A = this chain, B = another copy of it.
Amino acid sequence: MSENTADLHPLDDATRLAPGPDGLLAGRTTPAYWNMASPFGGVTAGLLMRAVLDNPERIGTPVSQTVNYCAPIAQGDFTVAVRVVRSGRSVQHFYAEIAQNGTITTNATIICAVRSQTWRHQPATMPDAAPAESLPAMPAGAPVPFIGRYEFRFLEGEPRFGPPLAEPRSPHSLFWIADRPARTLDFVSLAAFCDIFFPRVFQVRGHPVPAGTVSMTSYFHASQAEIDAQGDRPLLARADALRFGDQFCDQFGELWSDAGTLLASTSQIGWFRQ
């Protein structure tokens, strides 16, 4: 059962947008996806994706999204402005901004395309992984609400929130991920899953420090048919990182269908203190 009055899935509730007479879309944060001081960055990416998917000028399906987290979104109302920057015959570029009380909290560029069949090749191989149903789900009851909206089943690199480790451990994690409650995959949830990796700075230090995503870029390799074929079954998620220092660190990730298709790849630069 969904937890909100409209009987929507919580992700659909959190990404609900109402067109206004000023051409802006009106949205509102929900408690279900709250993080420390702002909504979960993934739900904000999903919301911006929905704003583009709903745009009457859109001609294709999502290929790429960059979301810049400029300032926290406070609990309450916000607006989303979307415009077409350039529309070619088959590739279309959107620019979007979320604003709240006169501050631009988030901006994004999103590219859609009318894709047609070509030569195809997937050099990346799906990591070996025991089936999701054979693994225990990470217990709910996490310190921030949005974690409870996802079901994590770790194969490698389970989060550790203890005292700092003496030596940094590997930034690599591998886990199955699903919406909780279950939800059929679409581009909104795929955009959100791209931010589901715990900050790699927590991962390597085994210890939480103040941290947040500054900019995330996701590439959508999946066709609509591949997304539809996945249904509501868990995706395999892999994350890693290259370098940490002077308050910033990168991370990159992959999201795989359980049939071995790379649905999306993503990277981000995050901020941390200490």
> Which A residues form the contact surface with B (CB < 8 A)?
63-64, 66, 68, 70-71, 85-86, 88, 90-91, 93, 95, 97, 103-105, 107, 109, 111, 113, 115-124, 168, 170-171, 204-205, 214-215, 217, 219, 221, 223, 241-248, 250, 252, 254, 262, 265, 267, 269, 271-274
Contacts and interface: CB of A to CB of B under 8 A. Distances in A.
Contact of A63 (B241, B242, B248): B248
Nearest to A120: B245
A70 B90 CA distance: 11
Contact of A247 (B113, B124, B204): B113
Nearest to A114: B247
B124 A244 contact: no
| 7 closest residue pairs by CB, A with B | A120-B245, A70-B86, A124-B242, A115-B246, A217-B217, A66-B66, A121-B244
Contacts of A71: 86, 88
Most buried by B among A93, A107, A271: A93
Contacts of A219: 248, 250, 267, 269
A245 B68 contact: no
A262 B242 CA distance: 8
A229 to B, nearest CB: 15
A178 B215 CA distance: 28
A121 B245 contact: yes
A90 B210 CA distance: 15
A200 B115 CA distance: 19
A172 to B, nearest CB: 9
A221 B245 contact: yes
Contacts of A221: 242-243, 245, 248, 250
B111 A86 contact: no
Most buried by B among A86, A104, A205, A219: A219
A101 to B, nearest CB: 13
Contact of A168 (B88, B121, B241, B267): B121
A30 B107 CA distance: 32
Given A66-B109, A107-B93, A215-B109, A243 B262 contact: yes
